[in-house]
Amino acid sequence: MHREDSTSPERSKILRTFQKTFNIRFRSLELLNLSFTHRSYCNENPSRQRNNERLEFLGDAVLGMVVASRLYGMFESKPEGELARIKSFIVSEDTLSGLSLSLGLDGLLLMGKGEEMSGGRKKKAILADALEALIGAYFLDSGIEAASDLVRRLVDPEIEKVLRNRHKKDYKTIIQEYVQKYAQTHPVYVEGEGRGPDHDRTFRVSCVIGPNSYGPGEGKNKKEAEQAAARAAYEAIIAEGGLESARLLQIEER
């Protein structure tokens, strides 16, 4: 795949084609290139000292602000909890990685051979981070209006999917990402005593996050019960104030 520095004619041509295809324009191709530079690439290329992690941090903030503002303006009658619910799906790793693939960012990423051999170009976390880094880079390069326009073009169709109930509701993934991001730990799913005969058994599972236990969720198999428990945790956190603060989980951030 592409590993040339943005100063090379071939890499510059690739970046310009990307901009033309998706109707964005960077003043700095180096900044655009940096948004696609995974840390594994720098590890194998000592001449490259910077990766896209700082841009991802910035882009995450820009994305969150624009999506929140968009939802606030679009739905005047919806309460905070409902806006937070919609936002959590829009900015989830699953949604962002799908958008990243649709933009072809997997083919633009600069990464080390080891990471690429392990399937790095298709890893959801790497793809989602690359999209957030792109947003952060565009904000630095062209300002908040241009970055906001890019975010709106990306997320408006996803908002429509949520409203039509056509989005993927993977509550386990949502809870996992949230807890890892804000609490640097992970949820534990504890199986309880089931109900019913062996041929028609109902499984019961609780989602434990720090000192808090949510559920139990029920299902005809453990997977369904875990999803139900994760949904119970999700809805409880939303009711307490939204997926925006680790304090809701009563876990000290590290």
Beta carbons of 35 and 133 less than 8 angstroms apart = yes
Check if 149 is active-site. no
State the amino acid at position 240 in one-letter form: E
φ, ψ for residue 171, nearest 5 deg: -65, -30
Check if 235 is active-site. no
Side-chain-facing half-sphere of 147: CA atoms under 13 Å: 26
Q: In what order do the strands lie in the sheet with 203-209?
A: 188-191, 203-209, 212-219
* Choice among 93, 115, 132, 158 that is catalytic: 132
165 dihedral zone (left: phi>0; alpha: psi -120 to 50; beta): left
C-alpha to C-alpha distance for 34 and 141, rounded to whole angstroms: 12
- C-alpha angle 204/90/148, rounded to 5°? 165
Beta carbons of 126 and 120 less than 8 angstroms apart = yes
Q: How far is CA 55 from CA 2, 130, 131, in A?
A: 20, 9, 10
* H or E stretch covering 159: helix 144-163
* Choice among 56, 60, 93, 226 that is catalytic: 60
Side-chain-facing half-sphere of 228: CA atoms under 13 Å: 18
125: which 2 tokens?
């976390």
Beta carbons of 207 and 233 less than 8 angstroms apart = yes
Q: Which residues participate in catalysis according to the annotation?
A: 60, 132
